[in-house]
Amino acid sequence: MALLKIRKFPDTVLKEPAKPVENIDGSLNGFLESMAQTMYAAPGVGLAAPQIGIGKRLAVIDVTFKEDPKAKLVLVNPEILHTEGKNRQNEGCLSIPDFREPVTRANKVTVKAQDVNGKWFEETGEELLARALLHETDHLNGKLYISHVSALKRDLMKRKIRKMVKAGEW
Ligand SMILES: [Zn+2]
């Protein structure tokens, strides 16, 4: 199975809100499996379609990183229903490799989403799963985690990235 190319900041596709997926049937299966394999190979615990250049509301998450075969989540058209509490932890993103910054997120999150066959379901996660649900949903809204860090830190990161882009190291 071919791995997909992960787009990096500041690729503009990462800033565009993704479009809802319509007419969901099993035909998305292969693509979502490629997304999951790309996530595992990266390695990462979540990947949203805009990160591979596809402006559709699709994401995969596995915060157990294959340890629990049932933990892999496929989210089609996810929406955050409820958030609760606060949790501050380091966060990273496959589109901004090698950087991590503390980000305050809700500690408990409930989303509703459709599965590969279009069936709606709800999922509630805490801590890392809550963070991943918010991080991937942000991606679908054209938002990166660096929008949750201070302007000072964000500018510093952007400056470092610009340097790496120039040096051909990005
Ligand atoms: Zn990300």
DSSP bridge partners of 61:
46, 73
CA of 61 from ligand 1 middle (Å) equals: 11
pLDDT tens for each residue of 18-70? 999 998 988 899 999 999 999 999 999 999 999 999 999 999 999 999 999 89
- Work out the pLDDT band at 155, boundaries 50, 70, 90: very high
CA of 139 from ligand 1 middle (Å) equals: 7
What residues are neighbours of ligand 1 (ion), with CB under 5 Å?
93
CA of 136 from ligand 1 middle (Å) equals: 6
Cβ partners under 8 Å of residue 39, min gap 6:
45, 46, 47, 60, 62, 94
Q: Which residues are catalytically annotated?
A: 136
Q: Which is it for the CA torsion 7, 149, 126, 117, positive or negative?
A: negative
pLDDT tens for each residue of 78-108? 999 999 999 999 999 999 999 999 999 999 9
